[in-house]
Structure 1
Amino acid sequence: MGLFGGLEADKYDRQYSDAYLAKRIAAYMLRYRWYMVGIVIGFTILSFVSAIRPVIISIGVDALVAQETTFWLLVGILLAAALAEYGANWLRRYLLSLVIGRMVAQLRKDAFASATARDLAFYDTNKTGKIVSRITSDTQEFGDVLLFTSDVISQLVSVAVLLVVLLSRSIPLTVIILLTTPVFFGTAMLFRNVARRVTRQAARAMAVVNDNIQESVTGISVAKNFRREAMIYSEFVGVNTLSYQTNLRRGMVLALIFPVLNFLIGFSTAIVLYSGAEAVLGGVISAGSWYLFIQGADRFFFPVINLSAFWSQFQQGLSAIERVFGLIDAENMLRQVDDQPAGNINGHIVFKNVDFGYTDDQLILKNFDLDIKQGESVAFVGHTGAGKSTIAKLVARFYEFQGGEICIDGRDIRTFDLPSYRARLGIVPQQPFLFSGTIMENVRYARPDATDEEIRELVYSVGNGEWLETLPDGLQSDVGERGARLSMGQRQLVSLLRVMVQKPAIFILDEATASVDPFTEVQIQEAVDMLLSQSTSILIAHRLSTVRSADRIIVLRDGGIIEEGSHESLMTQGGHYAELYNTYFRHQSLSYVEGSKSRLTQTGSD
């Protein structure tokens, strides 16, 4: 499995250079340039006061040695410097917190907008839990590192000011400090690549944990039905252990640098201490200057230690922002060539020599041709994998086809503005998804500007709204999470009404196979018939009633059309449709049900 086995990069991951990341981060910061001016002012004051304090103390030491009366004046200056340092630090922290908070919020907006803009092919190959981790955990991680970065920058500016003072006191001692500095930076740089790598792997491990938790909690009812609580707990323990081991490796890598740097700093300070003492005894520098160099060395090397720690954390922040930018920059497989409005389309659908496969090496449709007239309803039937749902998804523009052309009203489907085009589609998936809230809110979801009266009139146009009588609060009944408080049939009705309220030009129904009670099925069929009369319809049918209500039935096998016609004509041919009918649909027919009752009655009398 290797050191980081099981934590491979996602397909849309990218690796950016540090310079590119810095440039892109700066672009976010420049949105708050006036705040940044205040931050720079706070930085400048803080750095100058922090650097000048040991200088004032060194002057005080010399004043004490000379027994000068300026000592208490210097104490007052130190007090004023401390107050100025506190005020500048407060200003810097306050403004920086505002900027970082807004940056993180903007990054999350951009990442979430990118996630919602991705096509379905993206979600076929990428787990939602990992995407959530990038939007939440990685953006927060970057914000935390950015705050720490500001402290290190302040210390480095302070070092630059202090360096000028040290040079003015003793060039030889300053040179000693400077000569040892590259050793620290060199040591820190040795850890650069491995630090970026381990922090990237730690972020991926956290994404795996988030994904596992989300999937387990979402599917908890299924796990309980099959008594698999122990299994999902075991899987969580596995990914959690992987995350622990990855973070342990990361901690070990990041912790190695401090003992090495502390040894080097102790060695360098000892050299400065010894050399400075000899300079004082030789009359080259004063005792105050010697104290300044001792304090200066400590203040000089302390930011170096922080810089080394910061470098590791900085790599962690870069890894986090790299993952966020990777999501923001992820590309769709769909390739629109224009953005023409689609508000006036009527629904004439033509497939011309279309090739499509979910992977390029395994095509489902080959040279596929189909013409669906405006207002026509077409039911697709066939065994699983025949291509029924694929055709619907291509019309909905969820996937990019590899060859051929799909035209709507004679216009290439790739020339439409996608939001405008999809606003003319009404899609009911096989597993209807409802949002938490009331039935009224779920029906209005497709058209937020619809009034309560419009929705009420629409709902009661289907079976006079009798299905609402079983619900406690009618249209204001809470559907629960994912519609859990409604039956499957009621969820399908709400999904159909949600489509009806937008009056689509093209209606796509991927009919659920779940059984519903006869009363609800009648109302579902009534809603379907209303939609069929108003739009061009593509039906992936599992109910006989839906198949028979279609203008044309198309029989698919292995991505190709092998039969088409009405129910009666196809039954007369005695081909594949007749076989499907006798296998899947015949038991739903009234004659079959009545015949079954007759046989049961006869058996009972015998």
Structure 2
Amino acid sequence: MGFILEGLDAEAYDRSYSDRQLIGRIISYFRPHLSLMLSVAGLIVLNSVMDTAFPVLISQSIDTMVTDKVMQTAIWLVVFILLAAVFSWTCNLFRQWFTARAVGNVVLQLRKDAFSSVMSRDMSFFDEFTSGKIVSRVTSDTDSFATVVTLTLNLLSQILLFLLVATILFFRNWQLALLACIILPAIIVVALGFRYIARRATRNAQRSLARVNANVQEVISGITVAKNFRQEQNMYDEFKQVNKQSYQVNVRSGFLYNGVFPVLVLIANLGTTIVVYFGGQNVLNQTLSAGDWFLFVQGIMLLWMPVTSIASFWSQFQLGLAASERVFALLDAEPRVHQIDGQPVAQLRGKIEFQRLLFSYDDRQTVLPNFSLTIQPGETVAFVGHTGAGKSSIAKLVARFYEFQGGQLLIDGHDIRSFDLHDYHRRLGIVPQIPFLFSGTVADNIRYAHPDATYEQVEEVAKRIGGGDWLEALPDGLQTEVGETGKALSMGQRQLVALARVLLQDPAIIILDEATASVDPLTEAQIQEGLDVILQDRTAIVIAHRLSTIKHADRIIVLNRGHMVEEGNHEALMQRGGHYSQLYNTYFRHQSPDYKPGEGFVPVLLPVEEEEEQEQATLH
């Protein structure tokens, strides 16, 4: 049991909804299609009436032939039965067609809402929850949602049929009808008892499917690393385990769902047996006609068929409700980044002020305990420090990807929380260390932030990056296909495309996660030329990994556990002989053109007391 349910816990944003809440939300999606649904409802009524007419007409024809021997009447009844069958089939055809249209429209809208909800989530959401499971909710769960809608409409048809048949049977012989209804409480008890077990089983089945999707997506995304380290077998073994868990969960669910139907059929057959025996006795006693007895035998099947069908379809019904619950939980997930206003951002000068900023990714560890810093418009500031010092966190806060817990972050004197984020991000350019390109051409990716840009504008921007020499290495120039995630290009070419994309955007603030960290020296020179163009007259926050970027910065900020321990330019910090000189000798010295292995390494270490005094002096 532990293995079967291991890893199937709810996500942090999951929540439980009652059936009433779920059905209410589902109905709200159908309100725009009210006229179509009224047509479906009318066809359901007609279809149910025609289905009910079959046993009534047959019963009447039996009594007519037994008593009056009037074949003409019987022939007319047969004609009416055929006409009722044709009319019932026609009503059912149009009902299914209208239902398919209505359900398709609703699923289309729900999937739009789910995708829009995903797009509106902040970056912390994607850091915490795996993308495969999110994809599963947008795709698989919205498809399962269609199941619950279709079954709900079938449920209405079945209930109406039940009411019509029950009314006719009670009208013909209320004693026999009441006797047949003895088994009704037993069916209701079994169906309701199954309801509570089914929701939990279907929820686990959906989670196991999401886990399989997440595993497959992770494997495909990391296949290069897996093959490099020859880990195909380990990844396959891990998939086998996840897939086996999904198999066992589905086997348990299938056994549960398939086990309830025979029980309900057995109970319903007991009701049929009661009707056949006591109805037959009444016919022999001549208190019930042969036609009415046939009507009861056929009617009792129509009577229990809706009840047993509802219960047997309960697995799919619960599957749809569980899927709806997961989709609605995604829609209702609370954002962590809260804007207090939506002021438009027409233009920015680029002044950034951190005022006693407090930030942590969770409640366990504070990344920036009390961070204060002012970056002037047009200034390039490089952040250096050991892993975990807070460099990337500062960049993510300026990008408004995360919510800070205390203090203020001002852009041009305005609280960053007061901006319309869509407008603000248009004034913000981000160049990641590993750029992501979308399938399409180089030109398509450059104009990604400015879709209306002409080909001439794209070409002009591309030629400003590295003098445009990099375009000659592309097989088809700007029309070169980049492939999935840009795999058809080298890492350096991808980075040059990313720089051109940002230059076309023309932002006021640049966030640069060291674009030259993973490229060859020639490409690094081209990228550095592109950076000189991009950073000119723009405020830039640089997470530095290369010596060339550090030396070009107007100011270097040295971070240690979220505290700013030093600041200044390269020469001044080296002369100070503090933290920066240690970082330089450790990480950057070997990047210098005059560096010779084994020579020139002069560690500058401060006594612990002096180091602590310097940190405190910087903070105050």
Q: Same fold (TM over 0.5)?
A: yes
Contact preservation (8 Å) 2:368, 2:390: yes
Structure 2 counterparts to residues 167-206 of structure 1, below 5 A? 167-206=170-209
Q: Deviations over 1:528-564 (max 9, x none)?
A: 1112213110000111111111110111111100000
User: 1:335 Cα shift?
Assistant: 1.1
Gapped runs of 5+ residues in structure 1?
A: 598-606
Matched, 1:340 2:365: no
Give secondary structure in 2 for the equivalent of 1:353: strand
How far apart are the structure 1 equivalents of 2:215 and 2:516? 28
Matched, 1:39 2:40: yes
Match of 1:350 among 345, 348, 353: 353
Contact preservation (8 Å) 1:169, 1:285: no
* Segment drifting more, 112-121 vs 305-314: 305-314
Matched, 1:431 2:434: yes
Q: Deviations over 1:210-234 (max 9, x none)?
A: 1111110111111111111111111
Structure 2 counterparts to residues 358-437 of structure 1, below 5 A? 358-437=361-440
In structure 2, the partner of 1:603 is none
In structure 1, the partner of 2:154 is 151
Compute the TM-score of the two structures, normalised by the length of structure 2. 0.94
Contact preservation (8 Å) 2:355, 2:372: yes
Contact preservation (8 Å) 2:383, 2:541: yes
How far apart are the structure 2 equivalents of 1:421 and 1:179? 69
User: 1:589 Cα shift?
Assistant: 1.6
User: 1:172 Cα shift?
Assistant: 0.4
Tell me the amino acid that sits aligned with residue 39 of structure 1. V
Structure 2 counterparts to residues 278-317 of structure 1, below 5 A? 278-317=281-320
User: 1:260 Cα shift?
Assistant: 1.5
**1:533–1:558: structure 2 CA closer, same or farther, 3 Å change rule?**
same
Give secondary structure in 1 for the equivalent of 2:7: coil
In structure 2, the partner of 1:80 is 83
In structure 2, the partner of 1:28 is 29
Tell me the amino acid that sits aligned with residue 65 of structure 1. V
In structure 1, the partner of 2:217 is 214
User: 1:262 Cα shift?
Assistant: 1.8
Aligned-CA RMSD value: 1.5
* Structure 1 consecutive aligned stretches of length 4 or more whose deviation exceeds 4 Å: 593-597
How far apart are the structure 2 equivalents of 1:461 and 1:543? 22
Q: Deviations over 1:302-325 (max 9, x none)?
A: 111101112232111100110111
How far apart are the structure 2 equivalents of 1:474 and 1:584? 36
Match of 1:275 among 270, 278, 281: 278
Match of 2:454 among 451, 464, 472: 451
Compute the TM-score of the two structures, normalised by the length of structure 1. 0.96
User: 1:49 Cα shift?
Assistant: 0.4
In structure 2, the partner of 1:602 is none
In structure 2, the partner of 1:322 is 325
Tell me the amino acid that sits aligned with residue 204 of structure 2. Q
Give secondary structure in 1 for the equivalent of 2:408: strand
In structure 2, the partner of 1:601 is none
Contact preservation (8 Å) 2:47, 2:92: yes
Give secondary structure in 1 for the equivalent of 2:329: helix
Give secondary structure in 1 for the equivalent of 2:186: helix
How far apart are the structure 2 equivalents of 1:463 and 1:29? 55
Matched, 1:64 2:39: no
User: 1:581 Cα shift?
Assistant: 1.1
Gapped runs of 5+ residues in structure 2?
A: 601-620
How far apart are the structure 2 equivalents of 1:218 and 1:176? 64
Contact preservation (8 Å) 2:465, 2:496: no
How far apart are the structure 2 equivalents of 1:22 and 1:4? 27
Matched, 1:110 2:123: no
Tell me the amino acid that sits aligned with residue 185 of structure 2. P
Contact preservation (8 Å) 2:147, 2:317: no
Match of 2:267 among 252, 264, 269: 264
User: 1:513 Cα shift?
Assistant: 6.4
User: 1:594 Cα shift?
Assistant: 11
In structure 2, the partner of 1:471 is 474
User: 1:28 Cα shift?
Assistant: 0.7
In structure 2, the partner of 1:604 is none
Structure 2 counterparts to residues 137-148 of structure 1, below 5 A? 137-148=140-151
How far apart are the structure 2 equivalents of 1:519 and 1:237? 45
Give secondary structure in 2 for the equivalent of 1:445: helix
Contact preservation (8 Å) 2:464, 2:533: no
Contact preservation (8 Å) 1:356, 1:364: yes
User: 1:515 Cα shift?
Assistant: 3.7
**1:518–1:143: structure 2 CA closer, same or farther, 3 Å change rule?**
same
Matched, 1:18 2:41: no
User: 1:367 Cα shift?
Assistant: 1.1
Give secondary structure in 1 for the equivalent of 2:313: helix
Q: Deviations over 1:80-137 (max 9, x none)?
A: 0011001000010000001111111111111111111111111111111011111111
Contact preservation (8 Å) 1:335, 1:400: yes
Contact preservation (8 Å) 2:433, 2:517: no
How far apart are the structure 2 equivalents of 1:519 and 1:314? 62
Tell me the amino acid that sits aligned with residue 25 of structure 1. I
User: 1:379 Cα shift?
Assistant: 0.4
Tell me the amino acid that sits aligned with residue 501 of structure 2. R
Tell me the amino acid that sits aligned with residue 13 of structure 2. Y
In structure 1, the partner of 2:610 is none
User: 1:486 Cα shift?
Assistant: 1.3
Tell me the amino acid that sits aligned with residue 184 of structure 1. I
In structure 1, the partner of 2:616 is none
Tell me the amino acid that sits aligned with residue 42 of structure 1. L
Tell me the amino acid that sits aligned with residue 399 of structure 1. Y
**1:596–1:462: structure 2 CA closer, same or farther, 3 Å change rule?**
farther
Tell me the amino acid that sits aligned with residue 9 of structure 1. A
Q: Percent identity?
A: 51
